[in-house]
Amino acid sequence: MTRLTALCLFLLVGLGICAPVLLLASSSAADPKVRSASALVVDRHGKIIYGKDIETVRPIASITKLMTAMVILDSGLNLDEKITVTRADRDLVQLTDSRLEYGAALTRREMILLAIMSSENRAAAALGRTYPGGTGKFVAQMNQKASGLGMLASRFADAAGLKVENQSTASDLAKMVAAADGYPLIRQASTTQRMEVRPYEGRGPLVYGNTNRLLKNKSWDIALSKTGYINEAGRCLVMQATIEGEPVAIVLLNSFGKLTPFGDSNRLRKWMLAQKN
């Protein structure tokens, strides 16, 4: 889009002659009709393929857990050390339930896997609580990590993403997805479809599933993903995927409806494929 075209569109919008437009890679491209409030697709170099409201700061819910996992892995803490869930890990913000009862014990590696693949809130909270210096120090490290990644519009407030103060932009989250893609355990956790854990002695296993249903779709080649939801954030989804041989990062924020992020992902994929033809 040229500067002249952009200026004309701005003036037309101001006069009420036309509706605000999406920031597309090509001004002549068809509208993929994305329903999420913010949406972004970037290529491996960070070039925008598609963008919609990418600089608005929004709550990001459990997308936060990608930062949680990165900070834990950066710390060099023993991943085979067992962590025990306590009352301190319960959700007093959104009042969500958990199958990890007080006394449940899993390794730090298993806690990361559950936090990422199944968005287990107590697992994430336990990871932050058992960080050297406790939860407060952990959250400070999350914000320091974000700053180091150039996520200047982002803020983190807890390890699980339950507080509305966990906020970012689609543009910043594309940077976080790119960084998270460099951690093999995060890639593994986010693309594992099913996992069994045994947090209680003398009891059977708990079976967890992945929150991203697109992993079951053979037309998708997904290397990393994370979903998120609280009322204030709507439905959120970030992914690193390969479409027609091209690695891309996809960020979708504040979607209304449980299936909307998956529908938007499919609409964007279809739109991208159409641009190649």
| Enzyme catalytic residues | 62, 65, 119
What CA–CA distance (Å, rounded) separates 141 from 71? 7
Dihedral sign for Cα 83, 60, 66, 36, please.
positive
